[in-house]
Amino acid sequence: MIQTVAVVTANSAAIIGLLVTVGVWFAASLSVLVSRLLYDRRRRRLNDIARQLTDPSLEKLLPLDRSPAIRRILSRRTRREVYRLVASDQFPVWLTEACATYCLEHFGVEEIRRDASARHGRKWRRVSALMALGRIRGLEVYPLLEAAIRDDDPDVATAAAQVLFRIGDRAAAVILVSALRGASVPASRIATYLDQYPIPIGDLLIPLLRDPQPRTRYWAASLLERYAEYVRSAPIRTIGPHTSVERNPDRSFVGQIS
């Protein structure tokens, strides 16, 4: 009797196990395929929209107004997904610009600002909101970026540096340059952005040559290489005020050659 019960139990357990594993495998496989097919369909639609958006006759209209389809697509997506489109570097600029405009229109600056200043949790929402604000170049973005670039999380800080570089104006450069003095982003990444900065920033780098940190002085001198007008004086200033002639014979040598 006991043996029969054991056999029946083993049999049932094996069959239930089989049904469960087949079910899970099938559902997982189906979801992989459906997700891919939906992605491909979305991609095709975006290509159609891209063609419409690049029509020269629509040039004067805002990206969102050029094609009703894009507004329709975005209205079906959650805020997280729209934010992700704004933040992504994988999509063409026209799409991210259109998504940023859509964010402004639907969520409002205040809401985006709140997302961009969130300090705990929702890291990627914060990064995306910062990128959205960066795309629309609102004035409220600067203090938020200044806080973000000093954030302990390197992903948030790196994203802030990237947004500042994309904004590319003088106010953004001031924040980036000050981050050279210390942030959770490696200085090499900040230097990468400053080196490729779209406007001249040599005068902002000069004060760093007097920074007490040798590391900061190094980056400043290295970045100044791009600016011919500062090249000769940069190494001299680096050595200058923090050393004395007596203790550093190099200074007198530099004084002679300058």
Give residues in contact with other proteins (CB under 8 A). Answer: 7, 10-11, 14-15, 17-18, 20-22, 24-25, 28-29, 31-33, 35-37, 39-40, 84, 87-90, 124, 127-128, 131, 154-155, 158-159, 162, 165, 185-186, 188-189, 191-193, 195-196
Residue 149 burial class via C-beta count within 10 angstroms: exposed 0-12, middle 13-18, buried 19 and up = buried
Nearer to other proteins, 67 or 167 (CB): 167
Nearest 5°: CA angle at 49, between 44 and 50?
A: 95
Q: What is the nearest approach in angstroms of other proteins to the Cβ of residue 240?
A: 25
Nearer to other proteins, 189 or 210 (CB): 189
Nearer to other proteins, 192 or 233 (CB): 192
Residue 243, sorted as left (phi over 0), alpha (psi -120 to 50) or beta, turns out to be beta
Nearer to other proteins, 2 or 33 (CB): 33
Task: Give me the sign of the Cα torsion angle 59, 61, 64, 65.
Answer: negative
Residue identified by tokens 């054991």 is 6
Name which of 188, 169, 166 is nearest 179 in CA terms: 188
Q: How far apart are CA 258 and CA 251, in angstroms?
A: 10
Q: What is the nearest approach in angstroms of other proteins to the Cβ of residue 168?
A: 12
Nearer to other proteins, 67 or 159 (CB): 159
Nearer to other proteins, 137 or 189 (CB): 189
Q: How far apart are CA 211 and CA 181, in angstroms?
A: 8
Q: What's the full length of the chain, in residues?
A: 258
Q: How far apart are CA 28 and CA 14, in angstroms?
A: 21
For residues 21-47, one letter each, b for 16 or more C-beta atoms within 10 angstroms of the residue's C-beta and e for the rest, the string is eeeeeeeeeeeeeeeeeeeeeeeeebe
